[in-house]
Amino acid sequence: MSATDPIADMLTRMRNAALMRKREVQIPASRLKAEIARILKEEGYIRNYKVIDDGPQGILAVTLKYTEGNQSVLAGARRVSKPGCRVYCTRDSIPKVYDGLGVAIISTSRGVLSGARCEELGLGGEVLCTVW
């Protein structure tokens, strides 16, 4: 587990679980990770998620989503802003992921939002990750 970058750890666990065709993956919980999972569910990349209150940290249980042909809906995920090198965008420079086929997840002053929602609201912020 990477203690220095919990979001990169979350994305890696989800990618690895999808490659192994696992139905569910458990990740140490945090509010930020729960917000990222909420956006992934809204955008249709995961089936569901729930936060299990277990000790001081808790567990984020993410149920992965697959197509009829048992292909993972989550094809890839990339951490953009890292602890050593933060990446920000203005409302005019929100990244397009695979020409709109993917989604950028951005931390704004109004919470964690998808790139499309940021464009609607005219907000910029820290580009946490991209998912496709």
CA distance 4 to 83: 7
Secondary structure letter of residue 83 according to DSSP: T
Cβ atoms 131, 76 nearer than 8 A: yes
- What is residue 55's predicted lDDT score, i.e. its pLDDT? 85
- What is residue 10's predicted lDDT score, i.e. its pLDDT? 97
- Going from the N-terminus, what domains does the chain have, and what CATH number goes with each? 6-64 (3.30.1370.30), 77-131 (3.30.1490.10)
- What is residue 108's predicted lDDT score, i.e. its pLDDT? 97
Q: What is the pLDDT of residues 26-73, one digit of tens each?
A: 999 999 999 999 999 999 999 999 999 988 899 999 999 999 999 999
Non-local CB neighbours of 79 within 8 Å, separated by 6+ positions = 5, 7, 8, 11, 128, 129
| Mean pLDDT rounded to a whole number for the chain | 94
- What is residue 3's predicted lDDT score, i.e. its pLDDT? 63
Q: What is the pLDDT of residues 82-106, one digit of tens each?
A: 999 999 999 999 999 999 899 999 9
